[in-house]
Amino acid sequence: MTNTTAGYRPVDRGSAPDAAPPLGDLPPAGAGPAFDLLDGVRILDLTTSVAGPFATMLLADLGASVIKVERPGAGDDARGWGPPFLDGESLWFLAVNRNKQSVTLDYSGPEGRAVLHDLVRRSDAVLLNQPPRVARKLGLDPDSLRAIKPDLVYTAITGFGLTGERADWTCYDLIAEGYSGVMDVTGPKGGEPQKVGAPAADMLAGQDAALATLAALFARKATGRGRVVDVALVDSMTRFLTCRIVPYLGSGEVPTRSGGTDSVIAIYQAFETADLPITLGLGNDNLWSRFWQAVGEPEAAAETGFGSNAERRARREEIVARIQAILATRPRAHWLALFQAARIPAGPINRIDEIARDPTMRERGMIFRIDREAGGAVPQVGTGIQLDGRSNVPRSAPPRLGEHSRAVLAGLLGYNDDKIRRLAADRII
């Protein structure tokens, strides 16, 4: 066996997860201009929680001006989600709300609704996550808002969509994961179904909403038409299972929980080493051969019954046991360095604190902090997109509740001081 450390840079794992938050150790946001692909586009964000705010943050990251409308005194539901909190602010809220302006507005009554309609008239798209029944009650349904601005792009994020018998059913990420089938195939073999370890349905639906809103805005430039975009958490989460559902539809084989060891690729799972686990994926015959050469048993690749992925799947249990016996003889760092040098897909199973310290993630602008002008800092995860060879730079930290109410009402809507004071006295803003 060859032992090499070239190319692999292990994170200092330590003996336990970090006890203290690593905010002070985070690099500051990069220098340079922010992405400006959507410069001149104004988004009205009427959403709460995760899916909608994530969608509008993606649009803001790409350069759109996003006005986030929140309930006076309470704001976005996610502002109350915690602990953990940072200086009294929910870290879940801070995760999905940078690059936005916050305006507080009670639009349940006619005066507040008039303000909202003024904002709609000056917006290119509006995103909301109210069930259709509630949207109609508040005058936020597609027909009502497009009567105010006919070319408006209207994007609704709901649990089950704008139509059908489930349209007004309430939903969260957890509920959508259960409906979609992902929980039934997640977890240990013979064990209980498990939720994905992140709000997967929320994040997927948010990304779908941002993508569809962009496409509708692009089409509007050519046609002048607004569109109604209908994104459902259950739909987005179900689409996530495409590579599970289509094989079932074509074969009739219902997948079951396996602890992540039942891939269509014969060897595609986690393995234990002498100290820490790794992942290993041998997705084609070339990788299969290179693996056995790397571990010093080149003859194993050509053994009878190992010639194709289908043959290897039939003998998976035997092969897995054989590979596991080899990997258990040396520590993780040895194997990852060896496989990296041999161009074999493998990697660590990082804890959250480890990926947060990963030097490559920091170099690519994925983990950083935003320093606030008034003091303090906010930890962030980057856009995840490189443009012209560089990562995005945030324009602003997640807003305090109502931080921009006066600036937006005066600067965008042209309201005078007397009107703004009256709205505040009546607790509309």
Angle in degrees, CA 235, 236, 242, rounded to 5: 90
User: For tokens 């002498």, what's the residue?
Assistant: 274
Closest by CA to 370, choosing from 72, 50, 89, 79, is 89
Single out the catalytic residue among 202, 208, 230, 235. Answer: 202
DSSP-assigned letters across all residues of 143-184: HHHHHHSTT-EEEEEESS-SSSTTTT----HHHHHHHHTTGG
Answer yes or no: 417 catalytic. Answer: no
Which residue matches tokens 């953990």? 84
- Give the residue from 108, 83, 78 showing the smallest Cα distance to 93: 78
Instruction: Quote helix, strand, coil % in the chain, to nearest 5.
Output: 40, 15, 45
Q: How many helices (H) and strands (E) does the chain have?
A: 17, 15
3-state secondary structure of 74: coil
Tokens of 379: 């930890």
Cβ-count burial of 39 within 10 angstroms (0-12 exposed, 13-18 middle, 19+ buried)?
exposed
Helix (H, G, I), strand (E, B) or coil at 339: helix
Burial profile 365-400: b = 16 or more Cβ within 10 angstroms, e = fewer: bbbbbbeeeeeebbbbebbeeeeeeebbbbbbbbbe
Q: Write the single-letter amino acid at 313.
A: R
Measure the CA–CA gap between 409 and 251, rounded to whole angstroms. Answer: 59
- Nearest residue to 46 via CA among 155, 149, 152: 155
Q: Measured between alpha carbons, how far apart are the two ends of the chain, in Å?
A: 69
Alpha helices in 11-109 (DSSP H): 51-61, 91-95
Q: How far apart are CA 131 and CA 173, in angstroms?
A: 15
Nearest to 52 by CA among 150, 135, 136: 135
Q: Which residue has the tokens 């799947």?
A: 313
346-348 and 367-371 strand pairing: unpaired
How far is 270 from 260, CA to CA, in rounded Å? 8
Q: Is 320 helix (H, G, I), strand (E, B) or coil?
A: helix
Active site residues: 202
